[in-house]
Structure 1
Amino acid sequence: MAGMDAENKGLLAEWSAQEVKQAPEIARMEQERRDKIATAESRLEGYKKEQAPIVAKKEADRAAAIKKAEEASAALVQAAVPKQEAWEPYVDLSTVWVPLDLTVVDAKGVQKIEKQPDGSLFVTGTPEGPNVDAIYTLRGSTNLKGITGIKIEALPDVRLPNNGPGLAPDGNFVLTEFMVSQTPAGQKAPGAPKRNADLKGAVKLLSPKATFEQKDFSAAASINGSRDVADRGWAVSPNTGRYLQAVFETDPATTGYEEGTQFTIVMQQGYQRQRYQLGRFKISVTTAQAPLRYGASQLVADAVRRAPDKRSKEQQAALKEGYLLTDLGYQKAQQQLVAARKPLPEDAKLKELDGMLADAKSPIQLDPKLLQLRRDAELSKEQMANQRLTAAQDLAWALINSPAFLFNH
């Protein structure tokens, strides 16, 4: 105990001496730090004040551009009424598509997938940073049997970059692999497959085609069985920001069960591990005879076949949306609205000044020897306190177990 006391006193003395020795240098560095902070804050505030009217002008211009784009889109919606009436008689009813009521089993590589009021799915991508292979695993049920085809509708949306339909900055996507399996209703359907695993009960997809295919990125490449990140798939650049469709035929003799069918759908989108994922889409099936056409949804087909004054509100909305999806002028206006809504670009000078202030606020770098002495002194104090506690406990134990104590108690 005495030896530890002496060692502790020596350590404390050395620490105290070092603190005294280092005090002037520490005071100098702290003052220098305060001066740097004051200078950085002054420069930052000065720049903000200088830029305030410029930023205000840019924000006002941005707000005006947004308003102009919104008014242009609204005007096109109004102008579309007579155009829609002229379009309705030409809606292709040769292939009627029934949308699957999709649920999300798993959403790898994206933040979330949410069902929209129209039954489509909207995808929120991950924050900027390292990208991974995105794999959507979905489930959809139907009572149809003798199914002859499956269709993907890639939908534009002003919430997506460049009006979509993908999450890439230009609105593109690359559907690396599209896989579908089927299970009879009432039986347990498979969950999300492991990477590169085949699906049980796979549906063979045939004769792929799309309303537009990017050069060297065909719909056929989405069903070639390759799921490597270097593999290509269906992509649509430069025709982004608009409505696009891909159709895959199936064998009616083997697709769809008498008792109803659960489809498990896997959409792998990992091209070069970049942000090439679908942002909004629907998936539908049909029993129409081949060759299949892009046709119309069941809701639109039913609406077209009904007299205008007999249509339900849901049918009226479906026809309006169906026409606007085909109106390239309207979709171009939506792209302009997306562009107008973009935040102002980051001010590089402001970022630099913010960084300088953050650096100035960094703690000073103390002498390593002084830091070590502080740690050693603190540890020594703890050891001394523990030693005294142990000694007191030993003394109490000895007293309690002494013959005199036991005799008197």
Structure 2
Amino acid sequence: MSGFTWERGPFTRCAKCGQTKMGILSAGGGLLTKRCTNCRRTVQLPLPELDKKAIYLDQFMFSMIYNVKNEGNLPKGHEAFAKEVYALLRRCVLLQQVFLPHSDIHHDETTVFHSPIDLRGLYKFFGGDVSVMDSRDVELLQDIQFAKAYFDGKEPEVSFDIDEIANSQRNDWLPDMHVGVRADYSQFADHIRTVRGDVHDALKKLADTWLEKKVSFAGVLESEFSAIGPTKKQAFAKWFEEVSNPDPSNPLALFESSGRPIYREYRELCHLLEDRGVDEDKQAIEIMKFWHWERQREIPHQRISSYLFAAVAGRVVMGEKRIVDRGLMNDVRTISTYAPYVDALFIDKRCAALLKEEPLRAELEYKARIFSLSDPDEFLGYLRELEAQTPDEVREYAAMIYGID
């Protein structure tokens, strides 16, 4: 251990002892801590303020990045893109211009990946380790914001600031040391696969119905909107039946029921009504009225997902069979949940194409720029722009702390 120091280079001259032994002790958050290896003088320097962009990558992109890092198979025809996007994304993250948020959708898809622990560690470390609220929680956030407007007779006010849904401080400087936990969630893999299979089967049956009836975009869109209230009512009735008659063979039945999205929403709505002086025996009636409110269709996650399903139906009727696959539901959830908040989304080519078609292009509003493998150079150009916009002071500190050129 001779010669070992906790401080590291680059070393500068110490103002106290005059020796060139003032090195970096730690960095992260908003501070750079330096200490002299000779006289132990310690100084803390404030780091420049940041405004990082949120770029949400779908699971395919993180899997590709994993394969670049581990020299695995890359998508045919996109090998050069994979290597360049790996380098550019990492550079933008280290220059503190970008973070790549991870969500519960990533978590579930990673759990059924062939190397889940390593992939989970990669996207947390590689992307800056900022998670966003679970997709169901984001949906609930929007539902409650609309409920407040409904109960108060006001116009809905929904904030799409990324900080509303980020689970940590996105504008913190990355720590110069990273400690990870290799958590193993493999016991949930079979359940996730089963649920995904059941959802896919239901979607295939729905697609068969669309094809048989030769549905129109407008018809499916109106059907999706009209089903919001009845579907919530039905889900609540099913939850009530579960808690009233729990399965005696499943000791966790009541616990599982308490986590149902419909119950969580009902409970939050009851709290809102209680705060507004509505008697308990009248709360259920008011909630049912809200669930059938015409403006439910304006809630962002409801509106975006309904338009996407209507567009998918149109493709099915046109004879496109492969569009309804096992990943479709997660793609729809990703877009409808996170597109209003993040700065960019890199998604499946199929869904990216749907969003660029009419009437989705003209009638849907969200913050995110949409990218896909249909035009990989467009995404590379976007990253180069972000890299070039890095302030000189931030670039200098990034070079000092992370060793980036």
TM-score (norm 2): 0.17
TM-score norm. by structure 1 comes to: 0.17
**Richer in strand (by share):** 1
Instruction: Indicate the structure with greater helix content.
Output: 2
RCO higher in 1 or 2 (8 Å CA, sep ≥ 6)?
1
The structure that has the greater radius of gyration is 1
